A and B are shown apart, each in its own frame.
Chain A
């Protein structure tokens, strides 16, 4: 018997539906303009908190410790793209997402350091939703051209959608204002990326 336990107000399926609906709505303008990630990112310094006063809650800590390996791992997939795709749009897409992830990693690692958290990957090789794991990389390395494009797009879609969900949860349930601000920016980035992904999925 499966029992769906009660969830707190504002965190249940209705809220998730609202988020995904919001993502889809956000895709509409994104699909129609050529906004790149560089113009959307604030300078890294803006997310640095004052070390002495940084007070992270459990959700903040868990989110930072999860997003660091999620970004690190997806970069390994993105790094395969230039050598294995034949689609210029995928190559561009991967380059833009990778640049955003590297910048986010700087911010995330800074927050981790400010909070005195160990610089250890808590989720190394952990098969989690949206996480690129070594087995995924083995598959991606074995593919070329259109087959690779399909696989890497699916990998990225799952990664980006999960990242948006987690950023939303951190914004809602996190305690630390700096961390929540970074989550808000990262959610926005992922909404934009879903628009890019949708455009590259359309047959040229």
Chain B
């Protein structure tokens, strides 16, 4: 509830026009996917292939991150022009489609080129007006090597790609990597963009539409106050992978009292946080499980477990409350869900007591079943003065997340078996 007479600027007052203009200027088309969708039938050739680049921003942004199938890891270049990233398909292939998933630091002018030998390049796509986001390009070419050659950066930073994907025919057979070659992180993930907003919460307020503060929903397209697990299983999701029909929701983020939705929402499923022998016996998250993490009622930062930071700007110390991020950066929120289940209940009257966090890197006797740890990573197209920010639930430390599991049982089981227990980093497909 907000009083119209409230002298508190964060509540109940509108400063709309300034914000709208500022946001449009800052986004600069970041959210706009451009290009023409090519024949989706051609297979992905580039994933897991050797990748090299002209430079890297730091040790955490190698070229390989752009071809690992993981939209949560990226290649970033040094802060200069030009820069390139190339992938070796292993043998000559026809190339019909290239997908560039730019991070906030995108290229304004770039070409996509193919080569038979890695020396002589043929341009198959060229632009000087790139606008970032996801660029899905129909191309026609062939070669063993495919590269993106960035000649003009759009920001003061380098250029950075979450993923660089080449589709077509031919190339070498899929890489059969020896066990030692995989990344030793127990992980799979789902990338689920913003779907819709409603003042509903089917976990905390089932059957009571309008009872909640405003929530932003991700994944399932249908979630409302009445949603059941069968509703989710029978409806579409906007997740990548689309097989994940789960619903994820968080309090809506406001800048100057206008809702601002995330540019990126990634839901990682991790095997970390417990001893390796516990990881080895992690069980699939049961269908229909509901989890609430974070503290919507927090009245002070120390009551929160959520964390705010700035994308690309580790020099800004993370905080339980909003942080002021430099221009060009994005404020981001990390939240880890409890990963120990009581083995019986899919929910509880306080929506918490059926789940617990590990104690001494093991699941406590009261909650003996280890399950994957859900890590919610949310990145907003916003930065600067934190006085302009609020969540529908209040201050930054009221950040929370709700999860209603509707992964089909077989899909969840496969990922736990192939990625989590053996400690292998998988992408959205759930394969190494």
Contacts and interface: CB of A to CB of B under 8 A. Distances in A.
Interface string B184-197: 00000000001111
Interface residues of B, number: 40
B393 to A, nearest CB: 6
Nearest to B5: A151
B208 interface: yes
A129 B196 CA distance: 19
A63 interface: yes
CB-CB nearest 3 A-B residue pairs = A59-B207, A173-B207, A58-B206
Given A127-B393, A155-B1, A173-B207, 20 more contacts: A1-B194, A4-B196, A5-B224, A8-B226, A62-B204, A62-B208, A62-B211, A126-B297, A127-B1, A127-B398, A128-B211, A128-B213, A129-B199, A133-B1, A139-B5, A151-B3, A151-B4, A151-B5, A166-B210, A170-B208
Nearest to A7: B224
Interface of B: 1-8, 11, 194-199, 204-213, 221-226, 296-297, 299, 349-350, 392-394, 398
A123 interface: yes
Contacts of B1: 127-133, 136, 155, 158-159
Nearest to A165: B210
Interface in A128-145: 128-136, 139-140, 142-143
Contacts of B226: 7-8, 11, 173
Nearest to B199: A129
Interface stretch (A26-34, A35-43, A98-106, A114-122): A114-122
A157 B128 CA distance: 56
Contacts of B211: 62, 66, 128-129, 166, 169
B205 A66 contact: yes
B208 A5 contact: no
A135 B393 contact: no
A139 B6 contact: yes
A11 B209 contact: yes
10 contacts: A4-B196, A7-B226, A59-B208, A62-B206, A122-B204, A139-B3, A139-B7, A151-B5, A169-B210, A173-B208
A118 B299 contact: no
Interface residues of A, number: 55
Q: Among B3, B204, B349, find the residue whose CB has the most chain A CB atoms closer than 10 A.
A: B3
A101 to B, nearest CB: 15
A87 interface: no
Nearest to A116: B349
A172 B225 CA distance: 13
Contacts of B210: 16, 129, 162, 165-166, 169
A140 B3 contact: yes
B208 A120 contact: no
Nearest to A15: B209
Contact of A169 (B199, B208, B224, B392): B208
Contact of B299 (A8, A125, A159, A170): A125
A21 to B, nearest CB: 17
Contacts of A5: 196, 198, 221-224
A6 interface: yes
Contacts of A125: 297, 299
A129 B251 CA distance: 13
B133 to A, nearest CB: 14
Q: Among B7, B206, B392, find the residue whose CB has the most chain A CB atoms closer than 10 A.
A: B206
Given A11-B226, A66-B205, A139-B6, A128 B196 contact: no
Nearest to A126: B297
Contacts of B349: 61, 65, 117-118
A127 B393 CA distance: 6
A134 B212 CA distance: 17
Contacts of B194: 1
Given A143-B5, A155-B1, A66 B208 contact: yes
Nearest to B347: A58
A147 B71 CA distance: 53
Contacts of A165: 210
Nearest to A58: B206
B6 A169 contact: no
Contacts of A16: 210
Contacts of A58: 206-207
